[in-house]
Structure 1
Amino acid sequence: MDSFHHLEQLEDGKRKAVRAKQAVADLKRLIEDQTQRIKEEEEIKRKRLENLEKIRSSQAVLNKLDEIKTNYFRLVTSQDYQKRGFELEKVLYDLFELFDLDPKASFRNIGEQIDGAFSLEGTDYLFEAKWRNQLSDSSDLDSFVGKINRKLDNTLGLFLSINGFSEDAVKIHSVSRSTILLMDGTDLMAVLENQIDFVSLIIRKRRHAAQTGNIYLKSSEVV
């Protein structure tokens, strides 16, 4: 719409025509920006699916995935629990690297330890891993959320607890706008056995959390 002569015939018509022209221009700019964002998101999605297909069909990648799985199975029977936790971080680092997620190894900020970090579709994720006999509880998640909240707004967190999480912990952190996603040993095995690729799993978890508030979508509900 580029003609506003009909408004000019009204009382105070010139001012109304100018305001209408500006409103239409603003709307046009908004639609163009939205259209561009949609195109960019579709291109990102296309490239991601293309890369994932290459990953899933590459024998070299499958061989590396088997190697990571073998290293993980070695940890399952380990009796050195402290070393097992450290080696688990290395397993996940290798997994992040395999899926081209620009991983960062364990590092220490002032007064706090971060198990690792990676990037996915423009979002930075901090990573935390726990491998204990008991379920991870709300205090574990509270501590991790505190680390996330001290970073930039675009930062999220992925908490891996091999033996899962207490029901109360999941409920408490699912009722408000959460900044973390939860993953357990079953999820990890689904990735290592190539039932679902790691990137798709995290994207599905994030989308489910955004839509429902539930931060603990399990791989069995996806594959």
Structure 2
Amino acid sequence: MSINKKMSANSILALKDALVAIYYRKKDLRQFIELTIENAAIVSTIDWADNVKYESVSQLIDRMVKRQDFYQTDLLKLVQEVGNINDFSHLEYWEKENRGLIKKAEVAVGKLRQQAKGHFDTIEELKKAEERRETTKEKLKDSIAYQQKLDELKMEFYEIASNTNSQQKGFQFEKFLNKLFNFFDLDPKSAFKVIGEQIDGAFTFDNTDYLLEAKWQEKSIIAADLYTFGGKIQGKLKNTLGLFVSLGPYSSECTETGSSVLKSMILMDGMDLMQVLEGRVRLNDMILIKRRHASQTGDIYYQMK
């Protein structure tokens, strides 16, 4: 974040005085500064051994002020950290021989707070900007990881599609569905079981339990396939729903029937699955859209645009 508001001369003088006052020993002050600022290498360019404390501090701050384009955030951090000091008990040991150390530190820090009052809003802006940057970086990282995993699933799906061995294809599709549903946090209740090329399973979404039936076959799904699945759903608890996934087409009789047996399921096809794998829609969002459409219209086969 670029801050154009440079520190005033009075703020700089108050910062110098406060830094000198908050620590008695130069090595303690040096450590405090090194731990506070990000670009701490500049601290080692100062002669802390031979200079008196104020001279070392003054040289350091003056060098940072000359390059506020580079050190402005560090200067503001020093203002913030010094201004936040309320406990001066670390000076008590030297207070016995140098009376007034604690009072002097309190006054100096108080003066800094007064002189740099306008900069504390800037400090908050910096903090919020940094938080936004961190949030954005995390979102970007998550987005990249999400896309990479989706690409892996898509390549795995293509490999399954190219397999001519029906039995192998069924087992591969079982593993693929487990990965897909886990990836979208759809909480598979049990491993998907394979019967030929037919996969049965269960998952939970939006506080609703679903039975899953998936078929990978060239011929169209007919109403009898759906009635068989509907019978399985009816054998479960009342609010259980079903998701039927067919990579092949559905016959017209599947969608034209008005039987109540089929009103407890929604249908997905290969085009739907490709939309998920290509990142155009998330699987859980697709299920939600299809379920709402079925609830509102009675149409269990909503084709996503």
Band of TM-score, shorter chain: 0.5 to 0.7
Contact kept, 8 Å, 1:136 with 1:164, in 2: the verdict is yes
| Residue aligned with 2:268, SS | strand
How is 1:1-223 mapped onto 2 (pairs within 5 angstroms)? 58-103=143-188, 104-107=190-193, 115-172=200-257, 174=258, 176=260, 178-220=263-305
Which has the larger Rg?
2
Deviation at residue 59 of structure 1 after TM alignment = 1.7
| Residue aligned with 2:174, SS | helix
Aligned partner letter, 1:93: N
Deviates more, 1:192-201 or 1:90-99: 90-99
Distance 1:55 1:170 in 2: 41
Structure 1 stretches of at least 4 aligned residues deviating more than 3 Å after TM superposition: 54-57, 174-177
Aligned partner letter, 1:158: L
| Residue aligned with 2:182, SS | helix
Aligned partner letter, 2:255: V
- Larger RCO (CA within 8 A; separation ≥ 6): 1
Instruction: Give ranges in structure 1 of 5+ residues lacking alignment.
Output: 1-53
Contact kept, 8 Å, 2:178 with 2:191, in 1: the verdict is yes
Deviation at residue 205 of structure 1 after TM alignment = 0.2
Contact kept, 8 Å, 1:85 with 1:129, in 2: the verdict is no
Deviation at residue 114 of structure 1 after TM alignment = 6.2
| Alignment deviations for residues 35-65 of structure 1 (CA, whole Å, 9 cap, x no partner) | xxxxxxxxxxxxxxxxxxx699522222111
Aligned partner letter, 2:166: Y
Alignment TM-score, normalising by the size of structure 2: 0.50
Aligned partner letter, 1:200: D
Seen in structure 2, the aligned counterparts of structure 1 residues 55 and 106 have a Cα distance that, compared at 3 Å, is farther
Alignment TM-score, normalising by the size of structure 1: 0.68
Percentage identity across paired residues of the two chains: 46
Seen in structure 2, the aligned counterparts of structure 1 residues 211 and 55 have a Cα distance that, compared at 3 Å, is farther
Aligned partner letter, 1:190: Q
Deviation at residue 180 of structure 1 after TM alignment = 0.6
Contact kept, 8 Å, 1:61 with 1:98, in 2: the verdict is no
Aligned-pair RMSD on alpha carbons? Answer: 2.1
Instruction: Give ranges in structure 2 of 5+ residues lacking alignment.
Output: 1-138
Distance 2:183 2:203 in 1: 12
